């Protein structure tokens, strides 16, 4: 028997996968379970499917976890073997509690089916096409700590650097120095990103493979916690208030505009009435200097005192104003929701381009 690329299957998952597969396939044709050793490919679950005179062996590879790198190894193994037995096509399906969007795309590229227990499935058997993406597009089984750990304060310093220069090939030591984290932190995050199939690493050279996917993953897992938010009201228009801050704000502390106040300078999209900025000094000093009124409601100036200096990484100067990097700006706009997300997508289209 030929054994597939090694990913330890979770035996308790096999009956659940089989039940879900039977539910989907029985709607489209005749299906019957077969012994798992019916094919020579070491599958965890095998079914015979017939429709309009065509017969298939459907071989499920059931895994407790299938990260992009592991899935790519499995798909490479499939390419190395002839997928026929007894004159019938063997259609492989990768199954797990949850398969990420990246893994699902890899399967489709290779003509391999997928099925997970979080509601996603893609099966193509001759004239039969089955695809589901609900009711869940998130992992209802997975412990989220592995992914969430990529988006802590120190970790996101590394992500900002990678996304700020997506075509740059970094060395671990220079990346650590650039964002002021330990080499050990870089090594750990590097390992996690390799697991996710987002970077390639060889001889301590780190290269980002899929910046758009990393940014989307960050948005999805962003807890939105930037620091304490201080709210004020000013009679000045946004341009007037921004001019005041730009003219003398740096004397009081380090600052950088974000959300509309930054995006409007790089990719104008809509009018705005509120100012957002990061400031590492005392917000009361800004309020005193420009006679802002502290308010609980009706604010039009939001001063964020950041918990981590990473938000100031790779700030840019535009028209005499200091702006957060477009990556940080995009994240902040997406967190705002509503029309701000439209502005975020315009910024991404015009500036980030991934």
Cβ within 8 Å of residue 265, ≥6 positions away: 257, 318, 319, 321, 323
Q: Under a CB-based contact definition with an 8 Å cutoff, are residues 316 and 239 in contact?
A: no
Domains and CATH numbers, the chain: 13-133 (3.40.1350), 145-221 (1.10.10.10), 227-352 (3.30.460)
Q: Please say whether the beta carbons of 119 and 132 come within 8 A.
A: yes
3-class SS at 209? Answer: coil
Q: How far apart are alpha carbons 189 and 178 in whole angstroms?
A: 15
- Alpha carbons 112 and 122: distance in angstroms, whole number: 9
DSSP secondary structure string for all residues of 30-44:
EEEEE-TTSSSS--S
Distance CA 43, CA 59 (A): 6
Q: Where are the alpha helices (DSSP H) in the chain?
A: 13-25, 68-79, 101-109, 145-148, 153-164, 172-179, 183-195, 211-221, 238-252, 260-266, 283-290, 326-336, 339-347
Confidence at residue 34, expressed as pLDDT on a 0 to 100 scale: 86
Q: What is the arithmetic mean of pLDDT over 335-351?
A: 95
Q: What is the dihedral of CA 338, 260, 180, 146, to 10 degrees?
A: 10
6 close to 71: Cβ distance less than 8 angstroms:
no
Q: Tally Cβ neighbours within 10 Å of residue 110.
A: 16
Please say if the pLDDT value at position 134 is more than 90.
Answer: no
Spell out the residues 6+ positions from residue 343 whose beta carbon is closer than 8 angstroms to its own: 259, 260, 263, 267, 269, 270, 333
Region 233-250 average pLDDT: 90
Question: Tell me: the pLDDT tens digits for 79-124?
Answer: 766 554 455 578 899 999 889 888 999 999 888 999 999 899 999 9
Phi/psi of residue 227, nearest 5 degrees: 150, -175
What tens digit of pLDDT does each residue of 276-332 get? 999 999 999 999 999 999 999 999 999 999 999 999 999 999 989 999 999 999 999
Is 326 or 74 the better-scoring residue by pLDDT? 326
pLDDT mean across residues, the chain = 87
For residues 164-183, one letter each, b for 16 or more C-beta atoms within 10 angstroms of the residue's C-beta and e for the rest, the string is: bebeeebebeebbebbebee
User: What is the pLDDT confidence band of residue 196, given thresholds at 50, 70 and 90?
Assistant: confident
**CA–CA gap between residue 106 and residue 99 (Å, rounded):** 10
What is d(CA 87, CA 39) in angstroms, rounded to the nearest whole number? 12
Q: Which two tokens stand for residue 55?
A: 């017969």
| pTM for this model (two decimals) | 0.70
Say how many C-beta atoms besides its own lie within 10 A of residue 159's C-beta. 23
Residues 50-59 have a mean pLDDT of 86
DSSP structure class, residue 113: E
């Amino acid at each position: 028997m030929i054994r597939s690329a090694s990913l330890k299957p979770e035996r308790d998952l096999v009956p659940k996968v089989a039940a879900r597969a039977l539910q989907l396939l029985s709607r489209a044709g005749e299906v019957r379970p077969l012994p798992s050793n019916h094919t020579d490919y070491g599958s965890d679950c095998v079914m015979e499917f017939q429709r309009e005179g065509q017969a298939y062996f459907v071989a499920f590879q059931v895994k407790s976890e299938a990260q992009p790198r592991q899935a790519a190894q499995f798909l490479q193994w499939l390419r190395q073997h002839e997928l026929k037995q007894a004159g019938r096509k063997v259609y492989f399906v990768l199954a797990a509690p949850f398969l990420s969007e990246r893994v699902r795309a890899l399967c489709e590229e290779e003509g391999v089916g997928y099925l997970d227990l979080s509601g996603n499935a893609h099966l193509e058997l001759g004239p039969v096409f089955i695809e589901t993406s609900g009711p869940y597009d998130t992992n209802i089984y997975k412990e989220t700590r592995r992914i969430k750990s990529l988006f802590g304060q120190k970790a996101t310093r590394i992500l900002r650097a990678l996304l700020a220069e997506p075509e740059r090939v970094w060395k671990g030591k220079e990346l650590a120095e650039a964002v002021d984290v330990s080499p050990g932190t870089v090594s750990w995050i590097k390992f996690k990103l390799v697991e996710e199939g987002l970077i390639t690493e060889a001889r301590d050279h780190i290269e980002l493979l899929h910046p758009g996917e990393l940014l989307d993953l960050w948005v999805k897992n962003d807890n939105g916690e930037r620091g304490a938010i201080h709210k004020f009201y000013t009679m000045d228009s946004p341009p007037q208030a921004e001019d005041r801050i730009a003219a003398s704000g740096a004397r009081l502390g380090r600052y950088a505009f974000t959300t509309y106040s930054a995006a409007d300078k790089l990719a104008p999209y809509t009018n705005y009435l509120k100012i957002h900025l990061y400031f590492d000094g005392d917000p009361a000093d800004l309020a005193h200097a420009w006679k802002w009124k502290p308010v609980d409601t009706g604010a039009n100036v939001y001063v964020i005192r950041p918990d981590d200096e990473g938000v100031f990484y790779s700030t840019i100067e535009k028209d005499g104003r200091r702006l957060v990097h477009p990556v940080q700006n995009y994240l902040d706009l997406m967190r705002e929701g509503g029309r701000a997300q439209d502005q975020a997508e315009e910024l991404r289209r015009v500036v980030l381009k991934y």
